[in-house]
Amino acid sequence: MALNDGLLDVRGLRIGFPGYDGTSVEVVKGIDFSVGTEKVALVGESGSGKSLTARALLGLIPRPAQVSAEHLRLGDSDLLGLSARQWQALRGTRLSLVLQDPKYSLNPVLKVGKQVEEVLVLHTRLGRRERREKVLEMLDAVGLPNPSALYDTYPHELSGGMGQRVMLAAMLINDPRLLIADEPTSALDSHLRDQMLELIMDLVEQRGMGLLLISHDLPLVAKYCDRVLVMYRGQIVDRCHAVELAAASHPYTRTLWSCRPSAASHGQLLPTLSRQLLEEIA
């Protein structure tokens, strides 16, 4: 397991939405976790609070949600109470977010090269020539062929897999310490999924970064990550080493693992979760 050097430290994170009667509906209920220079997966069923947790770490929680925590630290900085301008300075430089589908993240009317370069324009004082050089290097580093031709293409000319690589290039060009990836491969065909995940893992390792990967794909998590946090209804109910997923002792983690579809289970009913059991142990 990689060193946990306390890149990100989250204590008592709560996220709530105002309810009809003036009360708050809590969807993330006081969770604690940390991420160092390592690959940590956040898994759990739909609606368990994974994406909202990731968004809170980037200051991107949708209104009217409210975030509170005992602390939310990235290195020496406390993220709680940052202004909009401070969040903007942080995103793309010290931490970055890769989302599911490049269609929604890339600007359709801006050439690919310009889009990756935009991050440098916003966050560095590099000159035009240096920026272009850095963009070409980064497009090459994410495995895109012929970067100088690609620089002048528009997002619609790219396949989904290429678009996702462009996104990754934009997110990594400023050397963030922590990458948060929310289902980064679920819009891709299965053969591209492994390639993309492998690329993310290689880059994270090469650059000595931390990764928080949100995924529904437990076999991929077991293959690529170091540790796993299991979320259920706004709480982290289990934590384990990724290699231990197949032999997890927590009933929820066990069910998540055994619910994964595979060629062997084709045509058979997948196991379902006993909610009652979970209520007892939660």
Ligand X SMILES: Nc1ncnc2c1ncn2[C@@H]1O[C@H](COP(=O)(O)OP(=O)(O)OP(=O)(O)O)[C@@H](O)[C@H]1O
User: Closest distance between Mg ion and the C-beta of residue 254, in Å?
Assistant: 22
Tell whether residue 22 is a contact of ligand X (CB under 6 A). no
Tell whether residue 17 is a contact of ligand X (CB under 6 A). yes
Distance CA 282, CA 237 (A): 7
**Residue 80 interacting entry, from ligand X, Mg ion, none, C-beta within 5 to 8 Å by type:** none
- Residues from 48 through 87 that contact Mg ion (CB under 5 A): 51
Nearer to ligand X, 42 or 138 (CB): 42
- Of 12, 18, 19, 47, the residue at the interface with ligand X (CB under 6 A) is 47
Q: How many residues bind Mg ion (CB under 5 A)?
A: 1
Tell whether residue 49 is a contact of ligand X (CB under 6 A). yes
Tell whether residue 50 is a contact of ligand X (CB under 6 A). yes
- Of 4, 34, 51, 88, the residue at the interface with ligand X (CB under 6 A) is 51
Contacts with ligand X by CB under 6 A lie at 17, 27, 44, 46-52, 62
Contacts with Mg ion by CB under 5 A lie at 51
